[in-house]
Amino acid sequence: MIKYFGILITIFVFSCNAPKKNSLSENNLEMAQSFLDNIITNPEKAKSLLHKDFTFAWMGIIEQGGKIWNKENLFDEYFKNIIPEILPNGIVLKTLDAISDDNGVAIIQEGDAVGKNGEYDNKYVWVFKMKDGLIHSIREYNSDILVATQLYNYKLINTEK
C-alpha cells in the first residue's frame, strides 16, 4: 500500500509541475490581441488569424459605419487606404482590459494619435467572435463624435435655442 501511495505522490508532483496548456478562452484572447498588435505592422500575420468567412464592421453611424468588410478588402482597402488617410501618422493602441471565453473576446483599448483634423485619443471596444479556432468576426466600437470631428472634419452645432 505504501508503495502505491509513493507512486501516486510522484505522479501528482510531476503533474503539478507539468506545463499548463492554455484554455480555449486564453487562446482566444492571445489570438485577438495578436490580431490587434499586427493589423498595421504585420498584416499577413493578422490575416492568417482570420476565418475564411470573416467579417469586420466599425459600428459608428457616419462614413464607413456599419459597412461589412471581409478578409480581403479589410486589408487591401480599409487598412491600406482609408485608415492611413484619416490617421496619417498612425495610432498607438494600448490595451486596458480584456475578457474572454470559449466563444469570443472583448478588448478595451485607448488610442494615442493625431487625426487629419487634430488630436484623436479615442477609446475602443473590440468584440471578437471565434469559429473553428480562428477569428470569425470583429465589431469595433468607439466615440462617433471624435471620429466625426477629428477624422472627418464634421462640425458640432448646438441645436438648443
pLDDT, tens only, 109-156: 999 999 888 898 999 999 999 999 999 999 999 998 888 888 888 888
Which helix H or strand E contains 109, and what residues bound it?
strand 104-115
Q: Is the per-residue pLDDT at 89 higher than 70?
A: yes
The pLDDT of residue 18 is 47
89 or 50: which leads in pLDDT: 50
The pLDDT of residue 19 is 47
* Total domains present in the chain: 1
Q: Which three cell numbers stand for residue 52?
A: 475564411
135 or 159: which leads in pLDDT: 135
The pLDDT of residue 158 is 87
Residue 65: pLDDT band with limits 50, 70, 90: confident
Q: Which three cell numbers stand for residue 34?
A: 495578436
Does residue 61 belong to any structural domain of this protein?
Answer: yes
Does residue 18 belong to any structural domain of this protein?
Answer: no
How far, in Å, CA of 117 to CA of 64, rounded? 17
Does residue 16 belong to any structural domain of this protein?
Answer: no
Mean pLDDT of 24-39: 96
The pLDDT of residue 156 is 85
pTM of the predicted protein model? 0.81
Does residue 17 belong to any structural domain of this protein?
Answer: no
Domain coverage including residue 84:
23-151
Does residue 132 belong to any structural domain of this protein?
Answer: yes
Does residue 50 belong to any structural domain of this protein?
Answer: yes
| CATH code of the domain covering residue 117 | 3.10.450.50
Does residue 27 belong to any structural domain of this protein?
Answer: yes
Does residue 126 belong to any structural domain of this protein?
Answer: yes
